[in-house]
Amino acid sequence: MKRHLISAADLSRDDAVLILDTAEELARLADRPIKKLPTLRGRTVVNLFFEDSTRTRISFEAAAKRLSADVINFSAKGSSVSKGESLKDTALTLEAMGADAVVIRHHASGAPHRLATSGWINGAVVNAGDGTHEHPTQALLDAFTIRRHLSPDGSGAGQDLAGRRITIVGDVLHSRVARSNVHLLSTLGAEVTLVAPPTLVPFGVESWPCEVSYDLDAVVGKTDAVMMLRVQRERMNAAFFPTEREYARRYGLDGDRMARMPEHAIVMHPGPMNRGMEITAEVADSDRCTAVEQVANGVSTRMAVLYLLLGGNESAVAAARTEESK
Amino acid sequence: MTMSDTHKTLLRGAKPLGGEPRDVLIEGERIAAVGTGLDADGATVIDAAGQILLPGLVDLHTHLREPGREDSETVLTGTRAAAVGGFTAVHAMANTFPVADTAGVVEQVWRLGKESGYCDVQPIGAVTVGLEGKKLAELGAMHDSAAGVRVFSDDGKCVDDAVIMRRALEYVKAFDGVIAQHAQEPRLTEGAQMNEGVVSAELGLGGWPAVAEESIIARDVLLAAHVGSRVHICHLSTAGSVEIVRWAKSKGWNVTAEVTPHHLLLTDELVRSYDPVYKVNPPLRTEADVMALREALADGTIDCVATDHAPHPHEDKDCEWGAAAMGMVGLETALSVVQHTMVDTGLLDWTGVADRMSVRPSAIGRLTGHGRPITAGEPANLTLLDSAYRGVVNPAGFASRSRNTPYEGRELPGRVTYTFLRGRATVVDGKLA
């Protein structure tokens, strides 16, 4: 059966908990002198990156290599793609080279879905971020980080996030991280609140399994984790908000706001951070900020995803929407 | 196409406009007689028992792509597709390469139409030079040319400058012209990929809000009223647009509107597949919009069905959504979709179909010889439909050069068995003659 990870919405609660538990097991590897498992020896993982994203690419690369897979990095820049090759022809080329999994980052929403359902390739497709659609492994590593911090035993094995209150702040409209997190965190039982100026909340958000607030101060006091999204300065020129300073005042997380958060609550950021914009240096460098830890957790989580898609349990990851679309 | 002009054809037992069975005798270019028990008298006899006879269909909105994009369609292949779909006249949109913004280009398209012989081709002229919205094209020269242009449109782009639109509306009054507006406020639709709503929010695709269409329609009906000209709204797609057109008509203003077959049937839920075959401009909207459009077509608020037949080569759809071209072919499936959405649902009878797909589009385009009653002496532009037929759409069999249909694999009712262009059969037993 063909299996992919395209959207966080494709994961059931049990799928998600299995991935997090597997990641927890694999994370222990990082503490050993030899960090490598032979699980995916002889399998080929292609990192197909149409968009620059060094941090995501090296995270997937480290994950695949620690499982002993052969890794091929294909970057659009300077490749046949920059000479006008279509996604289809690139995919057919990778298929001919025997890719067992294709990790794809693409500027167009839906490109990974297209790759998985077009019949161009047979391998597993992992969405490493598509346009303003989804970034499911980011959501998984975020959930992993939240679970570790908020569980009494420090791992949370077997548990979901029932009853946890997670606040996601910033440019939700253009954020694939927010979309995937809303799906995954609500699947895991968390109560998600989005906070943004109304211009950066998607039209049609009322169908999402979350609350929406325009007032950060009204929300920070009752949250278990605050996730700050990167806000691109270009948005200002498209009249999404008047000035950078006004944005930072109303929606940025500074020391005063952080002080009003419950004592156990953490501050998260998917990176790269705009210090002084959505987050002050004081907050970014505080020990409540998990940004660096999220990077480490990204490797374990992506190892779990590749392991379960390519070698592991059949039930680990639900079939992608392939099977549903007519 | 070899029959001589004096050839006689007798349609035995056809139901004109879905009414009582009649024999219809075609002699030369005209209908010679309509009655019962007509004598064959050397005519080719076609058993049309139970089939619906309509005036030849007229499309106000067809992209024939020639000159410039002959890889997707030519005037010849496009008119062949039109004939298969039961059309006897099409209006060829101006967004070719070069743009049909001069007398030279519209005459070229007009001449290619004459040579094709499968259906009449009435070129549409661009409103502005190069469709750029800055400077009026030579509208008078296009009207005075052999092509006799009366419909002008920058379709594909909106005439968004209010002053240019006002001047165009005023200017074409001199020769009874009409401006067919592609209503799309450009700033509100920058980066737009699909209807803005619940589905776009989930899919992370740039939204094309209904208000971008409605605000332009509202402005243009007011402008048309102000200068006393007529405006035609292309491919109206939202419930709100229907309300504005209904209001404008209630004022007695000279406003007409068209709807495409796909907006009568398909919704933005289909975009969840990310299959670019569903990518079109204006985008597929919601179920509520579809229902409002059907109702408006039934009550006459929307005057006609127009295909917006938009052929694209395979590679322009065999890609990721964001990179794909917008548009769908529609000539060969239009009547089936209208039967499915309007007739089989009880919203429109066959007289209504003839009105919305032949009589009114002919009137808006000021075509003579099309959209006429099925009576003795009239030009024999006729379409015979087997409405009892059910078939699965198979694009491999299309006469169009392109295959970008959203209906592949879908069962639709009705099949055009014969099309007559001035007495000559262009389609015989469902196949091109």
pLDDT tens sequence across A311-320 = 764 333 333 2
**What is the tens place of the pLDDT at every residue in A108-145?**
999 999 999 988 999 999 999 999 999 999 999 999 99
Q: Which residue of A has its CA nearest to B274?
A: A110
Contact state of B204 with A134 under an 8 Å Cβ cutoff? yes
Q: Which tokens belong to B188? A: 């509100």
Minimum distance, in Å, between the CA of residue B66 and any CA atom of chain A: 25
pLDDT at B311 over 80: yes
pLDDT for the residue B38: 95
Identical fold, A8-134+295-323 and A136-294 = yes
Give Cα separations from A108 to A92, A98, A115, B385 (angstroms): 19, 25, 12, 43
Question: Which residues in chain B are contacts of A326 at CB distance < 8 A?
Answer: 273
Overall CATH class of domain B8-52+377-432: mainly beta
Residues of chain B with CATH 3.20.20.140: 56-365
**What is the tens place of the pLDDT at every residue in B14-56?**
999 999 999 999 999 999 999 999 999 899 999 999 999 999 9
Instruction: Tell me the CATH architecture of domain A8-134+295-323.
Output: 3-Layer(aba) Sandwich (3.40)
Confirm or reject contact between A183 and chain B (CB < 8 A). no
pLDDT for the residue A220: 97
Residue A21 in 3-state DSSP? helix
Average pLDDT value for residue range B1-25:
86
The backbone torsions φ and ψ at residue A72, rounded to the nearest 5 degrees and listed phi first, read: -115, 125
Rounded to whole angstroms, the Cα distance separating A136 from B423 reads 62
The backbone torsions φ and ψ at residue A62, rounded to the nearest 5 degrees and listed phi first, read: -65, -40
Task: With beta carbons less than 8 A apart as the criterion, state whether A273 and A291 touch.
Answer: yes
Rounded to whole angstroms, the Cα distance separating B371 from B383 reads 11
Work out the burial of residue A201: count CB atoms within 10 Å of its CB; fewer than 13 is exposed, 13-18 middle, 19 or more buried. Answer: buried
Selected residue of B195, B279, B317, B320 to mutate for chain A interface (largest A Cβ count, 10 A): B320
Confirm or reject contact between B197 and chain A (CB < 8 A). yes
**ipTM (interface predicted TM):** 0.88
pLDDT for the residue A52: 85
Partner residue facing A110 (CB), from B197, B201, B320: B320
**What is the tens place of the pLDDT at every residue in B171-211?**
999 999 999 999 999 999 999 999 999 999 999 999 999 99
**What is the tens place of the pLDDT at every residue in B239-281?**
999 999 999 999 999 999 999 999 999 999 999 999 999 999 9
Q: How confident is the model at residue A268 (pLDDT cuts 50, 70, 90)?
A: very high
Contact state of A325 with B315 under an 8 Å Cβ cutoff? no
pLDDT for the residue A320: 28
Contact state of B321 with A111 under an 8 Å Cβ cutoff? yes
pLDDT for the residue A323: 33
Residues of chain B with CATH 2.30.40.10: 8-52+377-432
Rounded to whole angstroms, the Cα distance separating B377 from A169 reads 73
**What is the tens place of the pLDDT at every residue in B218-247?**
999 999 999 999 999 999 999 999 999 999
Contacts of A311 (CB under 8 A, 6+ apart): A39, A40, A43
Q: How confident is the model at residue B2 (pLDDT cuts 50, 70, 90)?
A: very low
Rounded to whole angstroms, the Cα distance separating B188 from B186 reads 5
Fold of the A136-294 domain:
Rossmann fold (3.40.50)
Selected residue of A109, A177, A179, A235 to mutate for chain B interface (largest B Cβ count, 10 A): A109
Does the B56-365 domain belong in CATH 3.20.20.140?
yes
